[in-house]
Amino acid sequence: MIGSSPATWDAMAQGYDAERTADPVYDACIRQAVADLHPAGTVLDCGCGTGLATRHLLCADSVHGLDFSRQMLKQIRRRFGARHVKTMQGDVRELPYPDAMFDCVLVANVLQHLARDDQRRAATEIMRVLKPDGRFSVSVHHYSVEKQRAGWIKEGKPGGKDGCDYIFRYTRSELAALFPSARIRAVGFYNWPAQMLITRTAGHTLARRGHGHMILAYGVARKFAQANLSVSIANKSRRPFRGR
Ligand SMILES: C[S@@+](CC[C@H](N)C(=O)[O-])C[C@H]1O[C@@H](n2cnc3c(N)ncnc32)[C@H](O)[C@@H]1O
């Protein structure tokens, strides 16, 4: 499996917002991801799409949006204009930014579209571009007990009508392995009342028990680096974005 392609997201860019803005679980997920990030200073929205999460970051001093889909970037530029959000076409597996550039990095609903082998590479890149005490917040689709019981696939082409070509649904331990020392909470509960309240008060426990449509890893880069001394992030060669 090679993961998701920019062409797929180009094709979905026009209709992307309509479905998401009507979905309370999606909304709860990005709001909690932003709340756990505490955006301030120079912020990157990595895999920004049309900017639905980016709009909650505008309180920061400087906001950057990166995506590998040209059409997604067109939508975000239309939404904010170049003055408010600096956009860049690029790949989360090879970020086109110098080391330690950002105070905060948000990665909302992106890593689930990367093949397994590329996920660690992306996590390493996210940490590389963060300042030593920078903060990150990463939300992904959860391979929850409910989905497992209902027979949802773990990875591959998902069902549903939005046309996405590849999804990898994470267990809590798979996400924890990518971001050691991060806190992990469950977020997004279809048909549960007061879901933001549940997320805030019981999200960590619910993640440990395997519940929640999404899971969210958040924390501070320095702690990540200490837990990942074995991961070398130095001397990486940079190649220009070529897409796939
Ligand atoms: C589900 S959308 C999420 C968009 C936005 N973060 C949100 O929450 O609404 C996934 C986004 O990630 C982008 N994406 C997927 N794989 C990527 C990669 N390897 N590098 C950069 N962007 C990627 C897609 O183009 C798409 O815009």
Residue 227: pLDDT band with limits 50, 70, 90: low
Q: Would you put residue 210 in left (φ > 0), alpha (ψ -120 to 50) or beta?
A: left
Burial class from Cβ neighbours inside 10 Å (0-12, 13-18, 19+) for residue 138 reads buried
CB distance 103 to ligand 1 below 6 Å: no
Domain 6-227, architecture per CATH: 3-Layer(aba) Sandwich (3.40)
Pull the structure tokens for residue 73.
Answer: 């970037």
What is residue 83's predicted lDDT score, i.e. its pLDDT? 81
Q: Is the pLDDT of residue 61 over 60?
A: yes
The pLDDT score that the predictor gives to residue 225 is: 64
Rounded mean pLDDT, 144-158 = 94
Q: From the alpha carbon of 3, which atom of ligand 1 is closest?
A: 16
Contact 91 CB / ligand 1 (< 6 Å) = yes
Top pLDDT among 120 and 4 is at 120
Decide if pLDDT at 141 tops 70: yes
> pLDDT of 173-191, one tens digit each?
999 999 998 999 999 988 8
Sign of the torsion angle spanned by Cα atoms 87, 91, 93, 97: negative
Atom of ligand 1 nearest to the CA of 122: 19
Regarding predicted confidence, which is higher, 50 or 83? 50
CA of 231 to the centre of ligand 1 (A): 25
Task: Read off the amino acid at residue 237.
Answer: S
How remote is the CA of residue 217 from the centroid of ligand 1, in Å? 17
Cα gap 44→54, rounded to integer Å? 9
User: Average per-residue pLDDT in the chain?
Assistant: 90
Sorted by where each begins, the domain ranges of the chain are: 6-227
Q: Ligand 1 atom 4: the closest Cα is on which residue?
A: 49
